[in-house]
Chains A and B, each alone.
Chain A
Amino acid sequence: MTWSALLLSLQVTLVATIALSVIGLVLAFALARFEFRGKVLVETLINLPLILPPSVVGYYLLIILGRRNPILEWLEWQILFTWQGAAIASTIVGIPLMVQASRAALSTIDPVIENAARTLGSSEWELFRRVTLPLARRGILAGVVLGGARALGEFGATLMIAGNIPGRTQTLPLAIYDAVQARRYAEANRMVILMTIIALAGLWTVRLLESKRMSQRG
């Protein structure tokens, strides 16, 4: 049970982290660089999952992704009570952290440096890839780590839309809750330690990547 929960957690976290990184970066870029109508509304919606109780976020997802969604119905895609549902819940709760960290990093880049790149013949995409992204990478990386950690630890919203089905949607945090409920403390201990190791390993990997880059510079 522990191992299937671990594998499922890693799978959900990996997919959610990739999704929240890409979506979060696009949103952060749009918010940092453009003024548009309804910007405040978009910001509020992005940050809502930070403030709302996870069960409320889960309830909204339940309604949006439920049986009555015509697109999902047309695709014949059943999301509720699957690991994909858990991944979606994790993505949604992780996005605000990704957006905040990377938006802050993007805003600190001197626009003069980006204009310099433009006058040197760079297209917008080349500028983003060769200048903006490398300069903002610390903040972006921090956003990925924070969002990923949030995805890994996601509990409430996942419970609402994916349930707690062992082997199918029971991620580590849910399995820990289950084990404690059933007084299987040895199993709970094992999983708590596992979870802690994963979290520490994640943080150390990021540190390692950073210090490697730093030593390359100096």
Chain B
Amino acid sequence: MGDRLIIGIEKELSGFRLMIDLSIAAEIFVLFGPSGSGKTQILNALAGLMNPDRGEIRLDGRTLFRSLDDSVTINLPTRERRMAMVFQQYALFPHLTARENVAYPLRKDKSNADRLLQRMQLDHLAGRYPYELSGGQQQRVAIARALAADAKVLLLDEPFSALDRPIRDQLHRELIALQEETGLVIVYVTHSLDDAMTAGNRVAIINGGRIEQVSSLTEIFTHPRNRSVLEIIGVPNVINGTIKEDGLEWSGLGLMTKVQQKGRLGEVVTAYVPSEEITIEGIDGEVNGSLDDSHQNRFRGRVVRSQASGLVQRHWVELPNRQLIESARRDGRRYLNGEMVEVKIPADRIIFVEK
């Protein structure tokens, strides 16, 4: 059993109030949310670079910060918290070589620096200054330096967002291996869903200073807690409707979608349909007539935009209620802008927001 980081803090910030309750184990824990949602402030509070108004931060039974009724009773200085931070802009010491950077936190035995440089595949670059290294190499040095500090927690603030995709993917793999090897608590802040998906065991969705949901990303996609979560993870095809006896009445469309539904009659609900689940078909002949029973999850609409990315073909179809429906398929079919099509929404693929 590794260390456990327990956070319960409040802080009045300009524009919003940060209210965070989290318990983080030895894992890569992702704080995911839009810019300005308070993610970095959480890291600053953990590292002791910012003081919360109220609350407590504990690491493995040791209290790092405690403030009750606005009076701070425990507040360990940053250097005693054993939380090393890795920043988006690397923050290497520009006047020191890679090796000297890694050796910086080491007191007496500097030989550990060589071991860490080797661990991060940097031994051949040890003598170089930060300005002589690529972004990916600099961030490797920064991680090695953080490891040299013998911290219990690594705080990563958008660590790879300035890097290209392949390097980012590789560093994510290395980070996961590193976590498994060391059993460190790693708190990873990002506003990129891609990064959140590749890096994390568990994800906290942060919005406006609050935690909207904490679980695995798969769980978040299949059981989103509320509308705000849907907005933050940026899903397409969000629909609002009312539960009726024979299905969901889609607001503004006057049409019904047959759904496998839980929930009370008359309840207003929000749901979404992953674009991969939506098929579209061409319509032969005249476009009119109402939909019959067997076609209850079909809608007619007009293609307004299409885009091929790799093997995936995306279409955006405008329904009569002006709602855009996005479909992403790999079946090779293409429809032209302006073409009337039929959108098929499988009833059992509609994902409802929990509340």
The answer on A and B forming one complex is yes
> What residues make up the interface of A, taking CB atoms closer than 8 Å to B?
110, 112-113, 115-123, 130-131, 134-135, 217
Docked pose: A121 CA to B91 CA in angstroms: 15
Q: Which residue of A lies closest to B82 (CB)?
A: A121
Other than the given A118-B47, A119-B81, 12 more pairs (CB < 8 A) read: A112-B89, A113-B94, A115-B47, A115-B91, A116-B93, A118-B79, A119-B85, A119-B155, A120-B145, A121-B82, A135-B95, A217-B95
When distances are taken between beta carbons in the complex, the residues of chain B under 8 Å from A121 are 79, 82, 105, 149
- The answer on a CB contact under 8 Å between B94 and A135 is yes
**Nearest Cβ on chain B to A128's Cβ, whole angstroms:** 13
Q: How many A-B Cβ pairs are below 8 Å?
A: 62
**Nearest Cβ on chain A to B351's Cβ, whole angstroms:** 40
Docked pose: A121 CA to B77 CA in angstroms: 9
Docked pose: A144 CA to B150 CA in angstroms: 39
- The answer on a CB contact under 8 Å between A116 and B87 is yes
| Complex interface bits, B26-47 against A, C-beta within 8 A gives 1, otherwise 0 | 0000000000000000000001
The secondary-structure label for the interface of chain A is helix
Q: Which of A110, A118, A122, A134 contacts B95 (CB 8 A)?
A: A134
Interface residues of B in 102-135 (CB under 8 A from A): 104-105, 129
Q: Which residue of B lies closest to A115 (CB)?
A: B49
When distances are taken between beta carbons in the complex, the residues of chain A under 8 Å from B95 are 134-135, 217
- The answer on a CB contact under 8 Å between B84 and A119 is yes
Q: Which residue of A lies closest to B100 (CB)?
A: A130
The secondary-structure label for the interface of chain B is loop
Given known A-B contacts A116-B85, A116-B87, A120-B105, A217 and B146 have beta carbons under 8 A apart? no
Docked pose: A122 CA to B77 CA in angstroms: 10
**Nearest Cβ on chain B to A56's Cβ, whole angstroms:** 42
- The answer on a CB contact under 8 Å between B84 and A118 is no
When distances are taken between beta carbons in the complex, the residues of chain A under 8 Å from B87 are 112, 116
Docked pose: A176 CA to B316 CA in angstroms: 88
Docked pose: A218 CA to B105 CA in angstroms: 24
Give the size range of B's interface with the partner.
20 to 34
Docked pose: A192 CA to B149 CA in angstroms: 56
- The answer on a CB contact under 8 Å between B93 and A131 is yes
Docked pose: A122 CA to B93 CA in angstroms: 13
When distances are taken between beta carbons in the complex, the residues of chain A under 8 Å from B151 are 119
Docked pose: A130 CA to B82 CA in angstroms: 19
When distances are taken between beta carbons in the complex, the residues of chain B under 8 Å from A122 are 79, 105
Q: Which of B81, B91, B148 contacts A112 (CB 8 A)?
A: B91
- The answer on a CB contact under 8 Å between A117 and B104 is yes
When distances are taken between beta carbons in the complex, the residues of chain A under 8 Å from B275 are none
B83: interface (CB < 8 Å):
yes
- The answer on a CB contact under 8 Å between A217 and B91 is no
Q: Which residue of A lies closest to B84 (CB)?
A: A119
- The answer on a CB contact under 8 Å between B47 and A217 is no
Docked pose: A3 CA to B95 CA in angstroms: 42
Docked pose: A112 CA to B94 CA in angstroms: 12
- The answer on a CB contact under 8 Å between A120 and B91 is no
When distances are taken between beta carbons in the complex, the residues of chain A under 8 Å from B79 are 118-119, 121-123
Q: Which of B89, B93, B129, B149 contacts A119 (CB 8 A)?
A: B149
B78: interface (CB < 8 Å):
yes
Q: Which residue of B lies closest to A217 (CB)?
A: B129
Question: What are some 29 contacts across the A-B interface (CB < 8 A)?
Answer: A112-B87, A113-B92, A113-B94, A115-B91, A116-B85, A116-B93, A116-B142, A117-B93, A117-B104, A118-B48, A118-B49, A118-B77, A118-B78, A118-B79, A119-B49, A119-B81, A119-B149, A119-B151, A119-B155, A120-B84, A120-B105, A120-B145, A120-B148, A121-B79, A121-B82, A121-B105, A122-B105, A135-B93, A217-B95
**Nearest Cβ on chain A to B353's Cβ, whole angstroms:** 38
Q: Which residue of B lies closest to A110 (CB)?
A: B91
Q: Which of B89, B94, B104 contacts A120 (CB 8 A)?
A: B104
- The answer on a CB contact under 8 Å between A116 and B91 is yes
Docked pose: A131 CA to B94 CA in angstroms: 9
When distances are taken between beta carbons in the complex, the residues of chain B under 8 Å from A130 are 104
Q: Which residue of B lies closest to A126 (CB)?
A: B79
- The answer on a CB contact under 8 Å between B78 and A113 is no
Docked pose: A171 CA to B73 CA in angstroms: 58
When distances are taken between beta carbons in the complex, the residues of chain A under 8 Å from B77 are 118
**Nearest Cβ on chain A to B90's Cβ, whole angstroms:** 9
| Complex interface bits, B285-315 against A, C-beta within 8 A gives 1, otherwise 0 | 0000000000000000000000000000000
Q: Which of B82, B93, B146, B155 contacts A113 (CB 8 A)?
A: B93
Docked pose: A56 CA to B92 CA in angstroms: 48
When distances are taken between beta carbons in the complex, the residues of chain A under 8 Å from B142 are 116
